[in-house]
Structure 1
Amino acid sequence: MTAMQMQDSAYVTMDQLRVGLYVYIDLRWFEHPFAFNSFKIKDEEQIRSLRSLGLARIRYDPARSDKATPSGSELVLAPSETVAPVAPVVKEHPALAAKRALIEKIRVQREAAARIESAFVDTARTIHNVEKNLLTNPAETLREANQLISQIADSFLDAPELAIHVMGDKIGSEELYFHSLNVTMLSLMMARDLKLPAEVMQCLGMGALFHDVGCREIPDKILKKSEPWTQAERNYYELHCAYGAEIGRKLGFAPLAIDVIQQHHEMVDGSGYPSRLKTDAISLSARIVAIANYYDELCNPSNIANALTPHEALSMMFARLRGKFDPKLLQLFVRCLGVYPPGTIVQLSNGVIGMVATINTAKPMKPMIVAYDADIPKEEAILIDMDGTVDVNIVKAIRPAQLPREIYAYLSPRKQVSYYFDAGSPSKESVAK
């Protein structure tokens, strides 16, 4: 707390605590049992917990309290007044014990971050090698690709729970291959929830991984053009589906994988391409990949200035573009990613700003959030598990550009939103960074 804050703060003694006071706990986060360092007292149980901290008095905010002042006379700390520090005597309150367990979990999470991000980069590098050697050494390339998809699919099917992690921006030099990896991961996430057979997941994964393989036949001057395409250029680009399907046939891809490559831009309302197919004329696997592909292109367009936040992308697809997608699959996608997907900046009902770092696909409305707190170093940022926070909820998403500079720097919203799955228990393995 700054000297200015100390001058302006009002204090109450512990016997003056009452329901409705908005209090600040001037202890480190792990020295008290509450989810936040500041909150409005809601019941007598919280008062008992506050009194158990061993403090002589506690800071409060009259403006945010239900009444301007507590009963009795409050203590206002004058600039010249000094107060001997009171050593807190923290009893092992059940909630504090739970928090200590959470702190240990956070330690494990931070240690696991390097493993998760390393796996992500290694996978993207593998995709790079597969793409590079696809036509020069097809047999070995396909073996490597099938092995990669098998490993991902097997881990998905074997894991009791999945945690989705949003990756940082500086995680390697394979950005070109993040789109293929994102689409593959998100597609297999949906396939897992649909309980598709392992052999179907394998073919779907191959199709998702190589869904844009036909783009190697499209000139770079079209692919990398920053201005809007002409109609002729768009027509040429749309040929990548047919080119990709032909490459898949030459390489001996399974028919299901070829369907994905051919149809991943088809929309159930007939507005897609190249064949303007509708509903069941589009294979189930292609309908799955179409959703993952559309979502990732909204979040990570070629022109980053046009990027939508994950929440905006999902909201647009569900509210305005719903007719383009298989309705049951779109609902499944929203359920898996949550209303606030990883990477979304959110405001909680108590005013705290944070970023969704990890989604537990079993409880998509209860993500793990990295919270902004000016009094806590960024590298030690509080992780709030919304599953265990019953009195606070997410009230809205916020565009990163709307954040004050200091909060933006603290949370570091991702410019490139990339996902990786940890096929273990989120309670043990989830990662925030």
Structure 2
Amino acid sequence: MDAPPLMLFGPDRSAERVVRPRRALRAGVAQVFAAVVGLALGLLLPGIDGGYQVAAVRAVDVLKVVGVGVLSVTTLIFSLLFLVVQWAAGNFSHRLLLFRTDPVVWRVFALVVGLLVYSVTATLAIGSHRTVSVSVPTTALVLTGAALVLVRRLQLTALRSIQLAHVLADVRQRGQKVLRALYPEDSTNGGARRLPDVTSTVAWAGDSVLLAQVDVLRLVRTATRADAVVVLKVPVGVALQPGDVVADVRGGRVPDAEVLAAVVGEVERVFHQDPTLAFRLLSDIGLRALSPAINDPATAVQALDATEGLLRPIASADLGDRSIADEAGAVRVVMRLPSWDDFLRVGFDDLCRAASDQPMVLAHAHELLGRLRARAREDRRRSLDERMAWVEGELTSRHPAFLRGTVGR
């Protein structure tokens, strides 16, 4: 087996990091940090004797109003946001996690936790003092202002998540970021490299999960220590069942546990290393729009436009599996990545099959395929020609008037 082209990873390559576990860690650390800061400020500021002083009773009133008011507003906002998430899932796709995974959600919660801790701690620390430093109510007001700014941003983000144009743009942009990371312009063939023979096969030993990410750096270090090559047999985004083959180890000996430790399984797909997730989401949005209950072909057309935005940059790029080398240039990991036909199947075929009775969608798909054909490499035009022929056949048999308006453009 020859090694696929090299993917030149570096410190600025987002796809080599595993952010899923780190996201949960950052959320927890932010909340703990905010609570600790609130506790420290609540204990220190009431003890300041110098400077301008205000009546302790009035400072306590401010702290009570701030604590109760911010808590009430935040509770209301989060309740509304849960409804927004449910609405977006029901109208777009249940796999759409753009808003729920936005860092602003846990940042708002962390700031509110810190503000509440500060208000309670400062109130108790004031105790029987007759006067306290003006910094006590001032800090409460500053934190309240920061919380309201973040709450407003959270609200605007939620409103974006129910607007079709913004959702399609966000999905397209995230998909393009993943594609740029996995298919960088500076990738190289690096000459033919023959991989060593298979020494062991690694099977999935856990429960049924989705392959969400691969800890690339960890896997490269593990393979380097054993002077081996780990060839992943499944792409990111597929379901792993107990006993499924995850990887082949070639050359040296690598314990199965070390390979599986670099495989991150989740219950849902994430964008980070999944190049077909954006295509899947856009197809889901279009399919839901074409369902008899909604019957909105214009939305399906917009989904096709967003899909074209993902397909155009890779129409002439080198696709397929990629090799990852260590610092010495030796191939250590081979990642399984989609081909051109895989992208077309996920992003185009399902939606067009469901649109066989929607001439608007078929006519737009015909134009899209024509534009892609003009940009695609020669070896990829056959796949586009086959789909164009199918669309033309559907238009000829069902909607000849629309065909006359598209062919020859």
TM-score, normalized by length of structure 2?
0.22
Larger Rg: 2
